């Protein structure tokens, strides 16, 4: 009997030791992690510009049009768009209202699609102004739709990089402009973008 | 049983809320190296300054690769001695860095050598100060700061040398486009700052 009482006491000590050891291994709860949520913010930012077809078509069209126009528009337009878009995003972030955002976005697809379709060659500054004005609408829409709780810096980086890569995609596709069949393909793509824009415009006005 | 409950409760008591920098498990020097490499608030302005200097030629690149780390280290020492915990000041510094340096790279600003040096010293001091403050808060000490500055030195050297060696027109345009992305990010950060305030 003495043996069994000793065993029970040993078990009790044993479990206390395990519990104490496990307690030491348990993580503390209130460690403020500077890096928490950062990857989430970057991914959210990368995803946002490609989450809507209207945005995607307009941004790729900027690259297509730039490729049609050639230097210096081929790089000036994709430089203008992110900066103007970020300005619009800033307005959206701080709550400055911009009327007709969805209509502006739809009109951007129509206008840029028509520009690619007709291979329109306005003076460089006019092309930059057109792209810049439409970019403000796109940026404002993104700025007001930001998900809560994400890292501002990483979200912004992802957002700008995704936009820039969409332009680069347009420029890459636009390089087929050097061939006759490529020009025809680009015009067809412009027609497709303009038609889609008209559909988005109808939806925005409905 | 009460003892066991007390022990569990003791284990679950939260520790004081330190700001955790990157912890490699390899010591403060490597923590500093990885902190720099994984912190866009620091590495992107440093890269922008290196790109800007590289665009202005080898002399500007050489000046930057000494001036920027030296100023960063000096600012870091000040931060270690007199740390700040102001997140607003750090965010403002990041925003200004992105906006100013990104815009200068995008515009291919033809700055004189003394202006490049001045920018390197100014941004180095500011970013170093906030790094030093973070190191002081995390109790990592000067060795982490040495890691940051060495990582900065290597990054600046490589980036500036790469741009100095660029000859293709499209590659120089790509550098300017990268600058415009940085400036755009800075503009969005202005929005985030105003929204937070």
Task: Kindly give the confidence (pLDDT) of every residue in chain A, 206 residues in length, as a single tens digit, with 9 standing for 90 and above.
Answer: 454 555 555 656 566 656 565 554 444 443 333 444 555 778 888 888 888 888 888 889 988 888 888 878 887 887 888 889 889 988 988 888 888 888 999 999 999 999 999 988 888 889 889 989 999 998 898 888 776 656 678 888 888 899 889 888 888 898 888 888 988 898 999 999 999 989 989 988 87
Phi and psi at B155, nearest 5°, equal -60, -45
Q: List chain B pLDDT tens, one digit each, 197 residues.
A: 555 555 544 444 434 334 446 676 678 888 888 888 888 888 999 999 999 999 998 999 999 989 999 999 999 999 988 888 778 888 888 889 999 999 999 888 898 999 999 999 999 999 999 988 888 887 777 888 899 999 999 999 999 999 998 888 888 888 888 999 999 988 888 888 887 77
B87 within a domain of the structure (yes/no): yes
> Which tokens hold the place of A104?
């502006």
Q: Does B10 touch chain A (CB under 8 A)?
A: yes
Query: Are B31 and B85 in contact, with CB atoms under 8 Å apart?
Result: no
Chain A: residue nearest B99 by CA? Answer: A83
Query: Are B70 and B182 in contact, with CB atoms under 8 Å apart?
Result: no
Which of A157, A158, A168 should be substituted to probe chain B, the one whose Cβ sees the most B Cβ atoms within 10 Å? A157
A140 within a domain of the structure (yes/no): yes
A78 within a domain of the structure (yes/no): yes
Domain with A117, as residue range(s), is: 38-205
The whole-number pLDDT of residue A98 equals 86
What predicted TM-score, i.e. pTM, was given to this entire model? 0.76
Q: Does A199 touch chain B (CB under 8 A)?
A: no
Q: Enumerate the residues of chain B whose CB falls inside 8 A of the CB of residue A22.
A: 11
> Which tokens hold the place of A61?
């069209």
The whole-number pLDDT of residue B1 equals 54
d(CA A116, CA A165): 19
B8 within a domain of the structure (yes/no): no
d(CA A141, CA B118): 38
**A102 DSSP 8-state letter:** H
> Which tokens hold the place of B92?
């403002």
Contact check, Cβ <8 Å, A94/B191: yes
Query: Are A96 and B196 in contact, with CB atoms under 8 Å apart?
Result: no
Contact check, Cβ <8 Å, A153/B12: no
B158 within a domain of the structure (yes/no): yes
Q: Does A79 touch chain B (CB under 8 A)?
A: yes
Query: Are A39 and A48 in contact, with CB atoms under 8 Å apart?
Result: no
Q: Integer distance in angstroms from the first to the last C-alpha of chain B?
A: 50
What pairs with residue A32 in β-bridges? B19
Of A34, A91, A156, the CB nearest to B20: A34
Query: Are A5 and A118 in contact, with CB atoms under 8 Å apart?
Result: no
A72: preceding bond cis by omega (within 30 degrees): yes
Quote the number of domains for chain A: 1
Which residue from A90, A123, A88, A116 is spatially nearest to A104, judged by alpha carbons? A88
Of B17, B21, B196, the CB nearest to A30: B17
B6 within a domain of the structure (yes/no): no
Contact check, Cβ <8 Å, B7/A23: yes
Label residue B100 exposed, middle or buried (CB < 10 Å: 0-12, 13-18, 19+).
buried
Query: Are B145 and B73 in contact, with CB atoms under 8 Å apart?
Result: yes
Chain A: residue nearest B12 by CA? Answer: A28
B3 within a domain of the structure (yes/no): no
Q: Does B2 touch chain A (CB under 8 A)?
A: no
Domain with B165, as residue range(s), is: 41-196
- Strands (E) across B8-150 are located at 19-20
A62 within a domain of the structure (yes/no): yes
Quote the number of domains for chain B: 1
- Mind telling me how many Å the CA of B160 is from chain A's nearest CA? 22
d(CA B70, CA A3): 73
Q: Enumerate the residues of chain A whose CB falls inside 8 A of the CB of residue B14.
A: 28-31
Contact check, Cβ <8 Å, B191/A164: no
Which residue from A32, A41, A39 is spatially nearest to A152, judged by alpha carbons? A41
Q: Residue written as tokens 């740390």?
A: B83
Which run of H or E residues covers position B121?
Answer: helix B113-138
Query: Are A75 and B173 in contact, with CB atoms under 8 Å apart?
Result: yes
A114 within a domain of the structure (yes/no): yes
Of A33, A79, A94, the CB nearest to B177: A79
The pLDDT tens digits for A16-62 are 656 565 554 444 443 333 444 555 778 888 888 888 888 888 889 98
B153 within a domain of the structure (yes/no): yes
The whole-number pLDDT of residue A30 equals 37
DSSP string, B142-182: HHHHHHHHHHHHHHHHHHHHHHHT---HHHHHHHHHHHHHH
- ipTM, 2 decimals? 0.74
Which residue from B40, B58, B99 is spatially nearest to A86, judged by alpha carbons? B99
B187 within a domain of the structure (yes/no): yes
> Which tokens hold the place of B59?
């002399």
Which residue from B94, B90, B53, B123 is spatially nearest to B187, judged by alpha carbons? B94
Please tell me whether residue A10 adopts helix, strand or coil conformation: helix
Q: Enumerate the residues of chain B whose CB falls inside 8 A of the CB of residue A31.
A: 14-15, 17-18, 20
Label residue A166 exposed, middle or buried (CB < 10 Å: 0-12, 13-18, 19+).
buried
Please name the residues between 80 and 119 in chain A that touch chain B, using a CB distance below 8 Å.
Answer: 82-83, 85-87, 89-95
Contact check, Cβ <8 Å, A75/B177: yes
B19 within a domain of the structure (yes/no): no
A22 within a domain of the structure (yes/no): no
């Amino acid at each position: 009997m003495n043996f069994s009482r000793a065993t029970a006491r040993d078990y009790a000590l044993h479990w206390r030791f395990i519990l104490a050891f496990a307690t030491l291994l348990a993580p503390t709860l209130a460690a403020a992690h500077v890096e928490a949520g950062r990857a989430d913010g970057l991914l959210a930012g990368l995803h946002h510009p490609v989450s809507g077809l209207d945005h995607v078509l307009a941004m790729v069209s900027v690259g297509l049009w730039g490729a049609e126009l050639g230097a210096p528009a081929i790089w000036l337009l994709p430089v203008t768009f992110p900066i103007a878009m970020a300005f619009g995003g800033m307005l959206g972030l701080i709550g400055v209202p911009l009327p007709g955002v969805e209509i502006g976005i739809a009109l951007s697809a129509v206008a840029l699609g028509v520009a690619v379709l007709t291979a329109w060659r306005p003076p460089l500054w006019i092309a930059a102004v057109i792209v810049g004005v439409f970019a403000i609408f796109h940026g404002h829409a993104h700025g007001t739709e930001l998900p809560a709780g994400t890292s501002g810096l990483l979200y912004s980086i992802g957002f700008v990089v995704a936009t820039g890569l969409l332009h680069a995609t347009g420029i890459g596709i636009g390089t087929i402009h050097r061939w006759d069949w490529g020009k025809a393909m680009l015009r067809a793509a412009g027609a497709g973008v303009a038609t889609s824009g008209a559909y988005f415009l109808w939806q925005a006005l409905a | 049983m009460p003892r066991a409950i007390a022990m569990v409760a003791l284990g679950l008591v939260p520790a004081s809320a330190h700001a955790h920098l990157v912890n490699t498990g390899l010591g403060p020097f490597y923590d500093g190296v990885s902190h720099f490499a994984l912190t866009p608030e620091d590495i992107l302005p440093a890269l922008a300054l290196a790109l800007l200097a590289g665009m202005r030629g080898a002399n500007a690149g050489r000046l930057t690769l000494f001036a920027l780390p030296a100023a960063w280290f000096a600012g870091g020492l000040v931060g270690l001695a007199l740390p700040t915990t102001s997140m607003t000041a750090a965010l403002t510094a990041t925003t200004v860095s992105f906006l100013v340096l990104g815009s200068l790279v995008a515009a291919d600003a033809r700055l004189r050598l003394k202006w490049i040096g001045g920018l390197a010293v100014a941004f180095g001091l500011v970013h170093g100060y906030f790094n030093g403050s973070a190191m002081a808060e995390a109790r990592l000490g000067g060795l982490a700061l040495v890691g940051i500055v060495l990582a900065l030195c290597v990054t600046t050297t490589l980036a500036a040398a790469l741009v100095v060696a660029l000859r293709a027109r499209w590659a120089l345009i790509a550098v300017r486009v990268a600058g415009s992305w940085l400036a755009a990010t800075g503009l969005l950060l202005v929005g985030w700052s105003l929204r937070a305030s």
